[in-house]
Amino acid sequence: MLYIYIYIIKMGITGLYIDDNILKNISTDTDINALNLNLNAYYIIDSLNFFYEYIDNNYTEETFVSITINIYNLQEDRKTRINQLDTIYYQKKIDKKIDYGNLWNTLYTEFKQFLIEKYENVFKLQLNLIELPNEYKNIIVFNDS
């Protein structure tokens, strides 16, 4: 009997990118529509590394995965490696006893949630709000590409 497994691997994420310098200057007086926002930036895992650290004298180890996400102006820019906007480093402790399924997809899903929370928290902090208005929520969108 022949089994065929098909995995759909996410190749990247498209969505909001705001330069940190612009984020720092957002205030309650800022018109979100006047900002030069990139709503189609392309985020891609360009590096994936595993490492471990000993946590005691009995050589008990903790395992980590460290990923490098490069951000490009557009998905097409990634192909030619032009217009790179930024790089984000993301690290996660992993447990060898847990089956993460397709680790690549798991990391993309977690990173997408990380981006959503990052932008929501920054906007709330900068605007001194507890709940974001819809005009901000509507731009914090990330899609698999």
- Per-domain boundaries in the chain: 13-144
pLDDT at 6 (0 to 100): 44
> What integer pLDDT is reported at residue 8 of this predicted model?
46
Q: What is the pLDDT of residue 3?
A: 47
Backbone angles phi, psi at 62, to 5 degrees: -115, 135
Query: What is the per-residue pLDDT for 5?
Result: 45
pLDDT averaged per 10 residues in sequence order, the chain, 145 residues: 48 90 80 82 91 82 90 91 92 82 85 93 88 91 91
The predicted pLDDT at position 29 comes to 80
Residue 10: per-residue pLDDT: 54
H, E, C per residue of the chain: CCCCCCCCCCCCEEEEECCHHHHHCCCCCCCHHHCCCEEEEEEEEEEEEEEEEECCCCCCEEEEEEEEEEEECCHHHHHHCCCEEEEEEEEEEECCCCCCCCHHHHHHHHHHHHHHHHHHHHHHHHHCCCCCCHHHHCCCCEEEC
pTM above 0.85, yes or no: no
